[in-house]
A and B are shown apart, each in its own frame.
Chain A
Amino acid sequence: MSGNLERIPAIAGFLRSLVLHAVLFVGGAVVLAPLVWMCLASMMPAGEASQLPPRWWPSHPTAEHYAVLFSSLHLGRNFFNSFFLAAAATALSLCCNSLAGYALAKLPFVGRDRVFTFLLALLVVPGQVGMLPLFLLLRSFGWIDTYWGVLVPSLASVFGIFLVQQYAQSIPDALLDAARVDGASELRVFWSVGLPLCRPILVTLGVFTFLGTWNDFLWPLIVLSDASKQTLPVALASLAAEHVQDTELMMASAVLTMVPAVALFLVAQRAYVAGILSGALKF
């Protein structure tokens, strides 16, 4: 009898855990539902996604909408634009930010604190504030509707500089000094000692920049009006405005836009989350 009574807390704990896990998995299903439906609807024959009663599974799975995207809508070009711009932005931001972050962490100079405070203050300024004059500036350069115009704001970022700076601080000065004693120039020290040691944070910054550029919407929307130069999100937005009725076609282009981002995240999840946390924990 007493043995049964002792079991009550254990049973209560088991039940509580059962309910918690049930809620968590149902919640997960709810969170994933729109993304799953997006994929399923993209394979439905035209009109089926707007049928009543609604259906989850395509009656006859088809790839016809994907074929339309690449043939008559030329979304392949937009896919290439997105990919090229994200890769270029990643390369450029890695160069600028790693140099600057390393200098702020490892090369003491008069005025370093002031540069640091200046950059810190910029974190409060929302990116949209300068967009109108930047547009006029790029227009005077003839950079509107060019890849350069899209890339310019992602050359360097305060967030990226801080990410590298915080990480580079953990590099022991002795390692750098050893290279200097061997007669290496500062650039050489950076390139062959500092940079390899910063690799993990560079991976993080790279994933952040790639995803950020891939998913970016407002700036590419402003700069790129020529349909053949637009990125996928911009092309998708104009498609969504013109083809309101073609739900299945829109879902196919949404899948095309989403899948590379999700795939990169799944592969590089650890580095990505590390980036979020290094921002949050240093605060």
Chain B
Amino acid sequence: MHRTRTIAAWIFLAPALTAITAFFVGPVLAALVLSFTDFDIYTIADSSNLRWLGLEQYRILLRDPLFWRALQNTLTFVVAGGSLTVVVALGAALAIWGAARKVQAFLRTVYFLPVVTTIVAAAVVWRAWYHPRVGLLNVALRWAGLPAIDWLGNPRWAMLAIIVFSVWKNFGFHMVIFLAALQSIPHQLYEAAAIDGASRWQQFRHVTLPMLRPALSFVVLITVIGSFQLFAEPYVMTQGGPANATLSLVLLMYRNGFQWWNVGYGAAVAWVLFALLVVVTLTLSRLRLRRR
């Protein structure tokens, strides 16, 4: 009886496990091996050109100013863009939570729409809005008496432009999670707090925030993981420019690996990204455990 179930279980698992092993786990491990070699366009032509570099590849990486630039840009995007996304999402969720029942679902849908919009399609619109002369944002700035900004053409502003776009694109996702967490807080907690004479701010500080903590740590984690994978926004809007101001790690990997066929180097960038994510995930979950 149990034997048949065990056999059935493995048969059921076989397609998924085979696909995941062959097309995901295998390639991830192969990327680690590739990252220790100088696999490049000459290797594709003739595999005898392959040389083992070992850790030298990572030394090359650490000496490459472009890598440091990409790392710095990615971290800026993760920290600034990530925290802005979380704050906007929380603000929107709290506001919708306080709104009349009748309009809550409608507003949630409206605020969520950018999330399901194809990122390339949305980026094309925002690129037009960021246009230095005829873009609507600069028209608005001039109308307010301020100087126009070359959002995507000026290295000082380009990353901010990408961040604003991605906050617009992503906050709805996290807002939905916050909203569900808010709606699951028992009413009795607020009634008890009100009887104790707690002000609205005190209720927020001592009831709402603690009850939101699990949702908050989940949102922070997925925001960080998602932000580290920044690619489509700079690819469409700036191609990593101007002056590499929006070059991200994934874009660096894509260019090296898939455009210039420096596969070994690209694989090393990918593994650095992976290692960074592991460190960040472990740190965040340790922080979470300590708070508990």
Q: Please list the residues of chain A having a beta carbon within 8 angstroms of any beta carbon in chain B.
A: 17, 20-21, 23-25, 27-28, 31-32, 34-35, 37-38, 41, 49-54, 95-97, 99-100, 102-104, 107-110, 112, 115, 119, 122, 124-137, 152-153, 155-156, 158, 161, 185-187, 190, 211, 214-215, 217-218, 222, 232-234, 236-237, 240, 247, 250-251, 253-255, 257-258, 261-262, 264-266, 269, 272-273, 276-277, 280-281, 283
B20, B31, B113, B281: which contacts A133 (Cβ < 8 A)? B31
Cα A215 to Cα B34 in complex, Å, equals 30
* Main secondary structure on B side of the interface with A: helix
The 3 tightest CB contacts between A and B, nearest first, are: A130-B27, A186-B8, A133-B30
Given A126-B225, A280-B218, the answer on whether A251 and B9 have CB atoms closer than 8 Å is: no
Given A103-B10, A262-B113, 20 extra CB contacts under 8 A: A21-B103, A27-B111, A34-B122, A35-B113, A37-B125, A54-B134, A96-B15, A99-B15, A109-B6, A126-B274, A126-B277, A128-B273, A129-B28, A130-B26, A133-B31, A136-B263, A211-B116, A217-B231, A222-B254, A251-B124
Q: Which residue of A lies closest to B276 (CB)?
A: A126
Nearest Cβ distance between residue B129 and chain A, in whole angstroms?
Answer: 7
Cα A95 to Cα B13 in complex, Å, equals 11
B27, B114, B120: which contacts A35 (Cβ < 8 A)? B114
Interface contact A107-B5, CB-CB below 8 Å: yes
Contacts of B257 in A (CB 8 A): 131-132, 135
Nearest Cβ distance between residue A166 and chain B, in whole angstroms?
Answer: 15
Q: How many residues of B contact A (CB 8 A)?
A: 89
Interface contact B5-A108, CB-CB below 8 Å: yes
Residue B87 CB within 8 A of the other chain: no
Most buried by A among B24, B30, B120, B180: B120
Interface contact A115-B229, CB-CB below 8 Å: no
Given A130-B30, A258-B118, the answer on whether A107 and B126 have CB atoms closer than 8 Å is: no
Interface contact A132-B31, CB-CB below 8 Å: yes
Cα A99 to Cα B2 in complex, Å, equals 18
Interface contact A251-B5, CB-CB below 8 Å: no
Nearest Cβ distance between residue B203 and chain A, in whole angstroms?
Answer: 15
Nearest Cβ distance between residue A88 and chain B, in whole angstroms?
Answer: 14
Q: Which residue of B lies closest to A82 (CB)?
A: B118
Given A126-B274, A130-B30, A240-B236, the answer on whether A100 and B111 have CB atoms closer than 8 Å is: no
Contacts of B271 in A (CB 8 A): 129
Contacts of A136 in B (CB 8 A): 263
Contacts of A130 in B (CB 8 A): 23-28, 30-31, 270
Cα A32 to Cα B115 in complex, Å, equals 12
Please choose the segment from B60-68, B78-86, B91-99 that sits at the chain A interface, where 4 or more of its residues have CB less than 8 A away. Answer: B91-99
Cα A149 to Cα B207 in complex, Å, equals 51
Q: Which residue of A lies closest to B5 (CB)?
A: A107
Interface contact B26-A133, CB-CB below 8 Å: yes
* Main secondary structure on A side of the interface with B: helix
Interface contact A158-B20, CB-CB below 8 Å: yes
Interface contact A261-B277, CB-CB below 8 Å: no
A52, A54, A280: which contacts B215 (Cβ < 8 A)? A280
Contacts of A95 in B (CB 8 A): 15
Cα A152 to Cα B17 in complex, Å, equals 13
Interface contact B125-A152, CB-CB below 8 Å: no
Residue B16 CB within 8 A of the other chain: yes
Contacts of A280 in B (CB 8 A): 177, 180-181, 215, 218-219
Cα A134 to Cα B274 in complex, Å, equals 16
Interface contact B117-A240, CB-CB below 8 Å: no
Contacts of B176 in A (CB 8 A): 273, 276-277
Contacts of B30 in A (CB 8 A): 130, 133, 137
A24, A110, A264, A283: which contacts B107 (Cβ < 8 A)? A24
B8, B118, B214: which contacts A283 (Cβ < 8 A)? B214
Interface contact B117-A51, CB-CB below 8 Å: no
